[in-house]
Amino acid sequence: MDQQEKTIEDMGEFGFIRSIMNNCLHSPEDVIQGIGDDCAVMGPLDGKVLLFTTDLLIEDRHFLKEKSSPFELGWKAIAVSLSDIAAMGGRARHAFVSLAIPSHTKIAFLNKLYEGMKSLCRRYGVNLLGGDTSSSPGGLFINVAAMGEMAEEEVLYRKGASPGDLIYVTGSLGGSAAGLKLLKGELSCREEIGKVLLALHNHPEPRLKPGRLIAESRAASAMIDVSDGLLSDLGHICDASHAGARIFMELLPVSGELTTLCRGRSLDPRDLSLHGGEDYELLFTVPPKNRQLIEETMEFSQACPFTRVGEMTKEKGVRVVTKDGAEEEERASRGFDHFLSGDG
C-alpha cells in the first residue's frame, strides 16, 4: 500500500501512538514517564510526583446519548480518567473538562451531566478546576483531564513485572461488556440481573482506594486498569515488562449476575471476562515473595474483592489455560482498538 494513502484505520490506534512517540521530549529534566503508561509522571516536587491523564468520551463511540442518563454519563466521564490515576496507585486531585456541545442541547441535560461529574468528584475529594466549552457541529464530545499525586517510590508502572510474578485483578470481569450488550438491545434478561450489569457499564467505580492500598503496600511490581479488556491490557504489561503471561480460565472472577445471564445462551462468561472492555478494575502483578503481604493487605482492608488469575512468564505472549490444562495463545489485539475494531 502507498504510504501516502494509508489511513488511521489501516494502522490502528496503538500503531499510530507508537509512530508519534519520537521527538516528544524537549526539556525532559523532570519527566519520569511520558507517553506509554496509564498516566504521565512528572516531578518530583516536594517529594511527590504528579500524575496526569486525559480521556475522550465520544457520542456514538463511547456512549449512546439516548441509552444512558446524563448523570451516569458525567459520572463515567470522570471515572474513566480517575481509573488511570488509580492504575498508577495515585491520589486523584483535580479534573478539567472540555465539552463540545451540540447547540440544541438542553441546559437540563448539561446540569445533570455536571451533577454526575461533581458527584464522583465529591466522593474522592477531586476539584473541578476548569476546562473548555464549545459548540459541536456533530455529537457530544467530552474530554476529561485529571491530575493526581503520590510518593515517587510508590508509583506502579506497566513495566515492572517479572517472570514468575503472580497476576491479580480486583472485582469481577466481563460485567460491563454484558451491560453494553443489554444497553444496545442485543440481549435481554430479568430486571434485577440487568440492573447490576447495566450499572457496571454506566456507573463504574474507579478503584482509587484499592490502588492506593496496593501502591502503599509496596508489594506489587506493575499495575494497569482493565479498560480495553483483560487480555489487551495484560498485553500492555507484558510488552512494557518484556515478558509473557499465562491466565487460568478457571480462576477468572465472574459475577453471579453474568453467570446467570450467560446460562442457557451461547454466551461464554469467561470470553466476556477475557475480551470485554470497560471493567475499570485493576490488574496488578506481585512477586511470589510478597504474596502473603498483598493478600493480607487486601483482605484486611476489605477495600474490594480480588483474585489471583495467572502468572507472568519468561516466554512472550499471553496464553490462556483451559480447565483441562490446554494452553492457547491469544492475540492481545482482540482487545479494544478504536480504529481496528471499527464500531468502537
| 118-137: contacts with a copy of itself (CB under 8 A) | 118, 121-122, 124-137
Q: Which stretch binds a copy of itself (CB under 8 A): 43-51, 172-180, 306-314, 318-326?
A: 43-51
DSSP letters along 142-153, please? Answer: EEEEEEEEEEGG
Please state the closest distance from residue 304 (CB atom) to a copy of itself, in A.
Answer: 22
- The nearer residue to a copy of itself, 56 or 267, going by C-beta atoms, is 56
- Nearest distance in Å: CB 130, a copy of itself: 5
* In the complex, least distance from residue 214 CB atom to a copy of itself, rounded to whole angstroms: 22
User: Any contact of residue 66 with a copy of itself (CB under 8 A)?
Assistant: no
Half-sphere exposure of 48 (CA within 13 A, CB side): 12
CA dist 341 → 124, 219, 337, 338, 344 (Å)? 33, 36, 6, 6, 6
Site for a copy of itself in 241-260 (CB under 8 A): none
The alpha carbon of 134 is separated from its chain's Cα centroid by a whole number of angstroms, namely 27
What's the min distance (Å) between Cβ of 48 and a copy of itself?
7
Rounded Cα–Cα distance for residues 94 and 112 (Å): 20
Q: Which of 64/326 has CB closer to a copy of itself?
A: 64
Binding mask 86-105 for a copy of itself (x = CB under 8 A): -------xx-x-x-xx-xxx
Q: Which of 65, 67, 69, 110 binds a copy of itself (CB under 8 A)?
A: 110
Q: Does 223 bind a copy of itself (CB under 8 A)?
A: no
Q: Which H/E stretch holds residue 299? A: helix 291-301
Indicate whether 50 belongs to the interface with a copy of itself (CB under 8 A).
Answer: yes
Total Cβ atoms within 10 A of residue 228: 24
Give which of 235, 253, 252, 256 is closest to 244, Cα–Cα.
235
Q: By rule CB under 8 A, what count of residues binds a copy of itself?
A: 83
Residue 266 binds a copy of itself (CB under 8 A): no
CB of 9 to a copy of itself, least distance (A): 5
Q: Shortest distance, CB of residue 206 to a copy of itself, whole angstroms?
A: 15
The separation between the first and the last C-alpha atoms of the chain, rounded to the nearest angstrom, is 25
> Could you tell me which residues are beta bridge partners of residue 329?
319
Of 68, 77, 86, 143, the one binding a copy of itself (CB under 8 A) is 143
CB neighbours of residue 139 within 10 Å: 15
Show contacts with a copy of itself in window 282-341 (CB under 8 A).
338-339
Q: Which stretch binds a copy of itself (CB under 8 A): 19-27, 210-218, 228-236, 281-289?
A: 19-27
- Report if residue 48 touches a copy of itself, rule: CB under 8 A: yes
Query: Residue 219 has what DSSP assignment?
Result: -
Residue tagged 480517575 (cell numbers): 82
Q: Give residue for cell 504489561.
A: 237
Residue 58 Cβ, how far from a copy of itself at the closest point, in Å?
A: 6
Determine contact, residues 122/133, Cβ cutoff 8 Å. Answer: no
Which segment (138-146, 206-214, 228-236, 254-262) binds a copy of itself by CB under 8 A?
138-146
Signed CA dihedral, 96, 158, 198, 13: sign only: positive
Residue with Cβ nearer a copy of itself (150 or 298): 150
From the list 145, 189, 251, 304, which residue makes contact with a copy of itself (rule: CB under 8 A)?
A: 145
Contacts of residue 81, defined as CB under 8 A and 6 or more positions apart, other chains included, come to 53, 54, 55, 95, 144, 145, 146
